[in-house]
């Protein structure tokens, strides 16, 4: 590395110049010019700015001391919502829980809790984890959901059972995918997985947004998408417990709420998850 590049490095890192670099500076006019420009960037005087009346009013009308809530308390609402939909899934759907379905549901519920942590964790500066982690969760969890759908398909359950929700389900697109994938429309008591899943996902999602409101997320859309996927995963976990549907049904009917809540979360996150 040349001495000029070392000067660039030192400036980029905000470090002081070593004696050898200082010696180089005394002889290199380009570096001298750059350092002069760098010094000129640092403010010596700052602009005057007055507090607006609206801001002053807002502060004066709300001077209550902050009541800090622990991380556990902030996580209690979304975690409670996840448990509630799992219980609802077991009791309301009344399906026969197979070992694979149970493992699948536990994995999805655990993933949903990871999503809760990624949205609510604030880190040492109160700014949360890097948005890339949240996007990685969105992609990774979705991929794992697909893999679990494949696992369910190989367990020998009747493929396509539960696919006959043409009459009652509003998500005709999902129904169509399922019909194409499985090729039949057997009747099933679990015919409204997509709509039930949406309700479950919304319950968890609302709890989530309430807990996470006004967090200072660096990319609120990433937080929102993460919360949406977590809510959809919790709903899918609940449905997985008792639904005997095949691969297409799992991916379409159980996956649709994940997709919808992820998109809704990314949209709402910019409004709800920023101060």
Partner 1 sequence: MEAYCNGDRRAFDELFAQLAPRVMLTLMRLSRSRELAEELTQVTFLKVHRARETYIPGSHVLPWVTAIARNVYIDAYRAGRNRKRRELLTTEGTLPEPDPDDSPSTGDGNALDTLSDEDQRILQETIDALPANQREALLMLKVEGLSLKQIAAATGSTVGAVKLRAHRAYEALREALGAKKKSRPPESDEPSNHPTRNR
- Nearest Cα residue to 184 out of 159, 167, 150: 159
Distance from C-alpha of 128 to C-alpha of 222, rounded to nearest angstrom: 11
Distance from C-alpha of 253 to C-alpha of 28, rounded to nearest angstrom: 67
Tell me if 28 contacts partner 1 by CB under 8 A: yes
Least distance (Å) between residue 72 CB and partner 1: 16
Least distance (Å) between residue 63 CB and partner 1: 5
Distance from C-alpha of 215 to C-alpha of 119, rounded to nearest angstrom: 9
Which of the ranges 11-19, 92-100, 104-112, 232-240 carries the binding residues for partner 1, by CB under 8 A? 11-19
Query: What number of chain residues touch partner 1 (CB under 8 A)?
Result: 64
List the end-to-end C-alpha distance of the chain, in Å, as a whole number.
Answer: 45
Q: DSSP string spanning 142-194? A: HHHHHHHHHHHHTTT--TTTT---TTT-S-HHHHHHHHHHH------TTTTHH
Query: Within positions 105 to 144, which residues make up the interface with partner 1, using CB under 8 A?
Result: 122-127, 130-132
- Nearest Cα residue to 152 out of 99, 111, 229: 99
Tell me if 13 contacts partner 1 by CB under 8 A: yes
Tell me if 26 contacts partner 1 by CB under 8 A: no
Least distance (Å) between residue 262 CB and partner 1: 19
Closer residue to partner 1 in complex, CB, 4/114: 4
Least distance (Å) between residue 20 CB and partner 1: 14
Tell me if 219 contacts partner 1 by CB under 8 A: yes
Query: Within positions 58 to 77, which residues make up the interface with partner 1, using CB under 8 A?
Result: 58-60, 62-69
> Which stretch of DSSP H or E encloses residue 9?
helix 3-13
Cβ-count burial of 6 within 10 angstroms (0-12 exposed, 13-18 middle, 19+ buried)? Answer: middle
Distance from C-alpha of 134 to C-alpha of 140, rounded to nearest angstrom: 10
CA 149, 97, 208, 271 torsion: positive or negative? positive
Give the x/- contact pattern for partner 1 in 144-183, rule: CB under 8 A: ----------------------------------------
Tell me if 30 contacts partner 1 by CB under 8 A: yes
Tell me if 199 contacts partner 1 by CB under 8 A: no
Least distance (Å) between residue 228 CB and partner 1: 18
Closer residue to partner 1 in complex, CB, 63/91: 63
Q: Note the residues at the interface with partner 1 (CB under 8 A).
A: 2-4, 8-9, 11-14, 27-31, 33-34, 36-49, 51-52, 54-55, 58-60, 62-69, 122-127, 130-132, 214-216, 218-220, 222, 270, 274-275
């Amino acid at each position: 590395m040349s001495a000029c590049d070392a000067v660039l490095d030192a400036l980029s890192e905000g470090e002081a110049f070593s004696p050898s670099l200082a010696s180089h500076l005394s002889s290199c006019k380009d570096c001298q010019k750059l350092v002069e420009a760098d010094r000129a960037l640092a403010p010596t005087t700052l602009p005057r700015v007055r507090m607006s009346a609206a801001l002053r009013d807002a502060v004066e009308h709300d001077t209550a001391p902050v009541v800090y809530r622990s991380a556990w308390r902030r996580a209690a609402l979304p975690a409670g919502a996840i448990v509630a939909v799992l219980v609802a899934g077991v009791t309301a759907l009344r399906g026969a829980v197979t070992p694979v379905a149970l493992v699948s549901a536990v994995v999805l519920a655990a993933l949903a809790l990871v999503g809760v942590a990624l949205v609510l964790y604030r880190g040492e500066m109160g700014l949360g984890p890097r948005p890339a982690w949240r996007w990685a969760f969105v992609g990774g969890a979705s991929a794992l959901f697909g893999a679990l759908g494949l696992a369910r398909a190989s367990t020998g359950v009747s493929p396509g059972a539960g696919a006959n929700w043409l009459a009652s389900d509003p998500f005709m697109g999902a129904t169509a995918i399922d019909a194409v994938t499985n090729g039949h429309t057997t009747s099933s008591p679990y015919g409204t997985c997509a709509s039930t899943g949406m309700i479950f996902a919304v319950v968890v999602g609302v709890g989530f947004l309430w807990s996470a409101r006004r967090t200072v997320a660096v990319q609120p859309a990433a937080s929102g998408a993460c919360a949406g996927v977590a809510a959809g995963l919790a709903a899918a976990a609940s449905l997985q417990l008792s639904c005997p549907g095949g691969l297409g049904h799992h991916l379409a009917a159980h996956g649709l709420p994940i997709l919808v809540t992820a998109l809704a979360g990314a949209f709402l996150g910019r409004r709800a998850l920023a101060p």
